[in-house]
Amino acid sequence: MRAYIALFRSNMQLTLRDRSVLFFNYLFPFIFFFAFAELFHAGTGAGIAYFVGTVLTMGILGNGLFGAGMRSVQDREANILRRFKVTPISPLPILVAAMVSGWLLYLPVPAVLIAIAHFQYAMPLPHNWISLFVMVTLGVCALRALGLILAAVTNTMQEAMIAIQVLYMMMLFLSGATIPSAILPKWAQTVAEFMPAAYLVSGFQGIFFRDQTILDSGPAVGALVLSIVLGMFLAMQLFRWEKEEKIQPRKKLWVLAVLGPFLAMGCYRAYSKEHIGQNEALFRDLQRSGTFLIRNTRIFVGDGSVIENGSVLVRDGKIDEIFQGAGPDPDRIRAEVVEGAGKTLLPGLVDVHVHLSSPGGISTSTGDYDVKKSIPHSAAALLYSGVIAARSTGDGLDDSRTVRDQIANGSKLGAQLFICGPMFTAEGGHGAEFIQNVPAGVREMVKAQIVRTPKTPEEARRQVRELQAAGVDGIKAILEAGWGAGMLYDRLDLLLVRSVAEEARAQKLPLATHTGDARDVTDAVEVGSTSIEHGSWRDELPDTLLERMVRQGVYLDPTMAVAEAYAQFFAGKADTLNNSLVQQVVLGTVLQGTRDFVTSGKGADAGKAALFRAALERGRSNLLRAWKAGVPLVMGSDSGNPLVFPGPSLHRELQLWVQAGIPAPAALMAATANGAKLLRAQDRFGSIRKGMEADLLLVDGNPLEDISATERISLVVFKGERIRRAGLFEK
Amino acid sequence: MDHPIQVEALRKNYAAFPAVKGIDFEVRAGEVFGLLGPNGAGKTTTVEILEGLRARTGGRVSVLGFDPEAQPSEVKDRVGVCLQSTRLPEKMKVREAMALFSSFYTRTIDSPELLKRLQLWEKRESLYSQLSGGQKQRLALALALLNDPQVLFLDEPSAGLDPQARLEIHELVQDLRREQRTTLLTTHYIEEAEKLCDRVAIIDEGRIIAMGTPREIQERTLATSTIEIECAPPLAADQAPAWAEAEKIVVDASRSRIAVTSRRPARTIVDMVEWMRANGMELVDIHIKRPTLEEAFIELTGKSLRE
């Protein structure tokens, strides 16, 4: 024990006297830190945390590879270890003391770095200090073990220098330590998976950014520990006291043994490709961490009030402050500026009724119907159009949930999604009709993804509970008997609807009920639905029903854009396709295929066209009466239906509301604050208030005077990121 | 223990090359024993086997009763070693080096005392890189003595030092000799062996070719001594003496100085003195040049040590 302490003390003394060690350990990372901070404008808040992780990793690389690796080669080559060899000690205390002293000497680096980042750049302090400490410790020890092995398997200073430089450079530039992984090509991101440093970078960023603990990087921690143990063991076995003892070339392969855990992890992750999403997510966090001031703009707050000339400060993904007038000097608060003169800032829009799986038209390419592509595309199109949140009222459970989670964790960019998964309906009811067209082999599988057709109240309740467990955000039920002439459906038994509603309430899930006429609405309200989808397109909603909706606080989502679209579709008209926003977000194959099909007259049906024209009229008058009665209104587009495209269709819906006589502020409230309330997310988005997520839509002109101004999008802000909209459809 | 170091039939091969080809010797308690030989003779290999640094190919070795190969820690803990060409970290202070190495041994002596004795006390706060060659070697010696070793190995203790520093080291070793510490010293400096060693083994190409006190080795070799005398009055022109055992007699021009070579100088001198008295001559001066160890070495090995 005496030898361990003496060696440790000696290492500390020697290291502190060695200028090159001090430089690589302390000064070098800090130079990079300041350079990065200024270069990437990360000097404002959380963005700096990204670089703290980066620079910590760089320091650990230097400490391990040069500090431990080069040092032990030097000691051997300079005949220093030879002197130790004639004393009665084994390599173990030498290796252990080197490990411990290297680790201890590194500890001030994270402390100082975090202090500077906190005080100079306003970085929030990490919460999981213990995880951070463990991660630093494991990182230093693993890299030092690797350094020791490199020292053990190289025969000369030159050899060691080459081996160490190669590994150092590779890890420095490919692991995300200097260049954020997400902007590296995919192959480089895959290569990075084989390097311990990549796990350090993502581990640190996880701890700083997302309040993760080391348990979130379980496999990486395991690999680091294994590397340390293997590295120390092999360093003991391969220890050489003298330069005259040469190592056999094949023993050099032992270095692979230390990297073994990472080779295994790399192979697995290269195979699974999950890392690429993680890199995207971390990079997303960086993008969301900026500070900027949208100033001198009209602000539609979302609570009914309007600030005619104000400014909004966005910081770290949140609305930091709202000012009357131009606001503070942006240089003083380290903020970039978005000039908003002549523009209107709205809360990001909320569409409470979408179907993400279908492209909203007829495509010439069957690939466009692949839900793996169409769901992410729909989510991106929504965000492109300023819709920052959308509720899927009926899509495949697994696929919609996957995309929802990817968007939530930042690995995909799109409107944040709330999903209902499969729809409750009758066997052969509306929503289940097209299942007859699915090949028999996969019919059950498809059905399980998109509908629930309970036969008994017990089954209905169980199915609701199962969906709750599967992670849905709400329940969708269909209560509709149809219109006749090929549009007649079995209506879900009211007893079953009631069971669904009761269980949904018990599970705290909002219930969205699809209705067709006044009887449907009456029943839906009676069982306790949270929102009425479509309302009645066929007959007038009685005043008593509207009063009851007001009393119960039941939302009405009239979805008029879809009624208009069907009227056009059956009339063989494709005017919607000429809309600029539609052309921006809809795939070329879908635009072409839809135009060809609709204008060919193949789908034309004058009877149905008339039916939907009447439905639109009925919907309008019911909407106006509901608004006058004080029914809470939300806005849904029902996009995914023919000519109803996710994104643009919500803007069309706004216009139809205003045409129906709803004042623009009320329509915009329905499309923002009310939608957020229905989704139970009013504390996160839906209005422009201090502390809310910065989910904003900046448009040219004044939609309060001309509702079509909402289509003239100047900027979309999503969780604090100024979305590069053109980039949404890349990849 | 009479013989702290015992070596029997020691052999060491490096791959196919036999570096030590079967040597035997014993070092007695308290003596300074020298291994003398040219570079590559096998001296360092032999010493490193004794120090427990190298495995042997064959033979039996014992240091303080331990087998250095089987019990290296026991041996290393009890012996002091001053190796050729080892260094310490540049930025390590003398005092720190002493403290560090102290921690490796079960028993150590007072290090300030030792530093004072080796004239390093003033230098105790100096960095290793600031020491002169002689000081570095003294520090190496200090480190070797740190555990108060019963056996001391000095491998070329004065190699590469300037004459002054070498002299200092010699004095130190002579000092140690007075302490009755058993010392095994390798050197390729003849003077060093002559001056410092009680006994010497001459080693060449992996074999011991002569062993004994420096004097014994000189005497055992065939080298001749030279006796130079001055006599008065000078030899007469016709006088041509023939003394016992004299091999070659050279008389200079003055005929008063005579140089005589002899393998047995004692007998020759007695005969010379008697002859002069008989001829009424006086011995004014006498000088005997004995053969050196170097000459013995050259004669034994057929090569010079300086090679």
Q: How many other C-beta atoms can be found within 10 angstroms of the C-beta atom of residue B124?
A: 16
Give CA–CA dist A203/A57, Å, rounded: 10
Q: How many Cβ pairs within 8 Å bridge chains A and B?
A: 60
The winner for highest mean pLDDT among A501-505, A726-730, B132-136, B224-228 is: A501-505
H or E stretch including B306?
none
Q: Which one-letter DSSP state was computed for residue A493?
A: P
How crowded is residue B297: how many other Cβ atoms within 10 Å of its Cβ?
A: 27
Instruction: For A118-178, give the DSSP string.
Output: HHHH-PPPPS-HHHHHHHHHHHHHHHHHHHHHHHHH--SHHHHHHHHHHHHHHHHHHSSSS
**Do β-strands A713-718 and A721-722 pair in parallel, antiparallel, or remain unpaired?**
antiparallel
Q: Which residues contact B111 (CB under 8 A, 6 or more apart)?
A: B95, B98, B99, B102, B142, B146
Q: Which residues of B touch A101 (CB under 8 A)?
A: none
Q: What is the mean pLDDT of residues B187-216?
A: 87
**Which helix H or strand E contains B144, and what residues bound it?**
helix B133-145
Closest CA to A571 of A516, A621, A642, A648: A642
Specify the DSSP element, H or E, that contains A465.
helix A457-470
State how far the Cα of A496 lies from the Cα of A493, in Å rounded to an integer.
5
In which band, very low, low, confident or very high, does the pLDDT at A485 lie, cut at 50, 70 and 90? low
B-chain residues near A17 (CB < 8 A): 91
Interatomic CA distance for residues B75 and B53, integer angstroms: 10
What is the distance of C-alpha A421 from the center of its chain? Answer: 19
- What's chain A's length in residues? 731
pLDDT value of residue B137: 87
Nearest Cα of chain B lies from the Cα of A156 at a distance, in angstroms, of 17
What pLDDT shows up at residue B304? 62
Provide the b/e sequence for B2-21 (b: ≥16 CB within 10 Å): ebbbbbeebbbeeeeebbbb
Residues present in chain B in total:
307
Give the model confidence (pLDDT) of A394-428 as tens digits: 999 999 999 999 999 888 999 999 999 999 999 88
Nearest by CB to B104, from A17, A80, A88: name it: A88
A321: number of Cβ within 10 Å: 16
pLDDT digits (tens, 9 = 90+) for A688-729: 999 999 999 999 999 999 999 999 999 999 999 999 998 898
Q: What is the 3-state secondary structure (H, E, C) of A507-536?
A: CCCCEEEEECCHHHHHHHHHHCCCEEECCC
Both structure tokens of A31: 């130079």
Q: Least CB-CB distance to B91: which of A18, A79, A84?
A: A18
Q: Considering only CB atoms, which residues of chain B are within 8 Å of chain A?
A: 51, 53, 72-74, 76-77, 81, 83, 85-89, 91-93, 96, 99-105, 143
Question: Inter-axis angle of helices A606-629 and A560-570, to 10 degrees?
Answer: 160
Q: Is A557 within 8 Å of chain B by CB?
A: no
Q: Do B92 and A14 touch (CB under 8 A)?
A: yes
Contact criterion met (CB < 8 Å) for A86 and B96:
no
Write the pLDDT tens digit of every residue in A83-125: 888 898 888 999 899 899 989 988 988 998 889 888 887 777 8
What phi, psi does A339 have (nearest 5°)? -75, 125
CB contact under 8 A, B91 and A3: no
Measured over the CA atoms of residue A696, residue A700, residue A705 and residue A711, the dihedral's sign is negative
Best CA proximity match to A668, nearest among A683, A684, A688 = A688
Residue A43: the pLDDT is 53
pLDDT at A152 over 90: no
Check CB contact under 8 Å for B86 and A80.
yes
A22 close to B (CB below 8 A): no
CA distance A429 to A558: 21
Distance (Å, rounded) from C-alpha A336 to C-alpha A142? 41
Q: Please enumerate in sequence order all residues whose Cβ is within 8 A of that of A531, keeping only pairs 6 or more positions apart, or say none.
A: A352, A510, A511, A512, A513, A554, A555, A556, A557, A634, A678
Q: Measured between alpha carbons, how far is residue A180 from residues A136, A185, A727 in Å?
A: 20, 11, 18
DSSP B127: B
Q: Which residue's entry shows tokens 């002109």?
A: A701
The confidence score (pLDDT) of residue B36 equals 87
CA A587 to chain centre: 23
Contact yes or no for A334/A291 (Cβ under 8 A): yes
Write out the two tokens for A371: 């839900």
Strand partners, A511: A475
**Of A6-15, A36-45, A239-248, A462-471, which has the strongest mean pLDDT?**
A462-471
**Amino acid identity, residue B33?**
F
Give, as one character, the DSSP assignment of residue A293: E
Per-residue model confidence as pLDDT tens digits over A336-370: 899 999 999 999 999 999 999 988 888 888 888 88
Any long-range contacts for A588-591 (C-beta under 8 Å, 24+ apart)? A589/A363, A589/A364, A589/A365, A589/A368, A590/A359, A590/A360, A590/A361, A590/A362, A590/A363, A590/A368, A591/A361
* End-to-end C-alpha distance for chain B, whole angstroms: 38
Give Cα separations from A388 to A236, A337, A350, A401, B156 (angstroms).
58, 22, 6, 17, 83
Does A324 contact chain B (CB < 8 Å)?
A: no
- CA angle centred on A520, ends A517 and A523, rounded to 5°: 150
Q: What is the C-alpha to C-alpha distance for residues A419 and A408, in angstroms, rounded to an integer? A: 12
Indicate left, alpha or beta for B42 from its phi (over 0: left) and psi (-120 to 50: alpha): left
Report the percent of chain A where pLDDT is more than 90.
Answer: 51
pLDDT of B307 higher than 50:
no
Give CA separation, A267 vs A197, A239, A604, in Å.
Answer: 16, 30, 55
Which residues of chain B does A94 touch, with a Cβ-Cβ cutoff of 8 Å? none
> Among A146-150, A274-278, B279-283, which is the least confidently predicted range?
A274-278
Residue B257 pairs in a beta bridge with B230
d(CA A83, CA B82): 9
Over residues A373-392, mean pLDDT? 96
**First-to-last C-alpha distance (Å) of chain A:** 59
Q: Which of A600-604, A645-649, B119-123, B300-304 bottoms out in mean pLDDT, i.e. has the lowest? A: B300-304
Separation of alpha carbons A570 and A605, rounded Å: 5
CB-nearest partner of B103 from A2, A14, A83: A2
B139: which chain A residues are within 8 Å (Cβ-Cβ)? none
Question: pLDDT tens digits, residue range A180-192?
Answer: 777 777 777 777 7
Q: What is the 3-state secondary structure (H, E, C) of A4-67?
A: HHHHHHHHHHHHHHCHHHHHHHHHHHHHHHHHHHHHCCCCCCCHHHHHHHHHHHHHHHHHHHHH
pLDDT at residue A731, as a whole number: 56
Residue B176: which H helix or E strand, with range? helix B163-178
From chain A, pick out residues whose CB is under 8 angstroms from the CB of B98: none
| A480-504: average pLDDT | 85
Looking at chain B, which residue has its C-alpha nearest residue A8?
B100
In A344-355, which positions are buried (b, 16+ CB within 10 angstroms) versus exposed (e)? Answer: bbbbbbbbbbbb
- Cβ contacts of A629 within 8 Å, gap of 6 or more: A543, A546, A547, A549, A550
Chain A residues inside the 8 Å CB shell of B100: 6-7, 9-10
- The nearest CA of chain A is from the CA of B262 a distance in Å of 48
Which residues, listed in sequence order, are joined to residue B7 by a DSSP beta bridge?
B25, B61
* Cβ pair B81:A86 closer than 8 A: yes
Judged on CB neighbours under 10 Å (0-12, 13-18, 19+), A112 is: middle
* Cα-based distances in Å from B106 to A3, A98, A372, A681: 10, 22, 72, 72
**Using CB atoms, which residue from B87, B103, B143 is nearest to A3?**
B103
Question: Taking Cα atoms as reference points, which of A697, A643, A639 lies closest to residue A668?
Answer: A697
**In this structure, which long-range contacts are made by residues A654-657, counting pairs with CB atoms below 8 Å and at least 24 apart in sequence?**
A654/A703, A654/A707, A654/A710, A655/A707, A655/A708, A656/A560, A656/A561, A656/A564, A656/A616, A656/A620, A657/A558, A657/A560, A657/A623, A657/A707
Q: Residues A564, A358, A673, A526: is their CA dihedral positive or negative?
A: positive
Task: Say whether pLDDT at A41 is over 70.
Answer: no
A 86-115 residues with CB below 8 A of B? 86-89
Predicted confidence (pLDDT) at residue A552 exceeds the cutoff of 80: yes
Task: Determine, for residues B99 and A6 on separate chains, whether the beta-carbon distance falls below 8 Å.
Answer: yes
Give the whole-angstrom CA distance, residue A575 versus residue A198: 51
pLDDT in tens, B74-126: 999 999 998 877 789 989 999 999 999 999 999 888 889 889 988 899 999 99
How high is the mean pLDDT of chain A?
88
Can you say how many angstroms the Cα of residue A150 is from the centroid of all Cα atoms in its chain? 40
Instruction: Give me the DSSP letters along A557-578.
Output: E--HHHHHHHHHHHTT--GGGG
Q: What is residue A310's three-state secondary structure?
A: strand
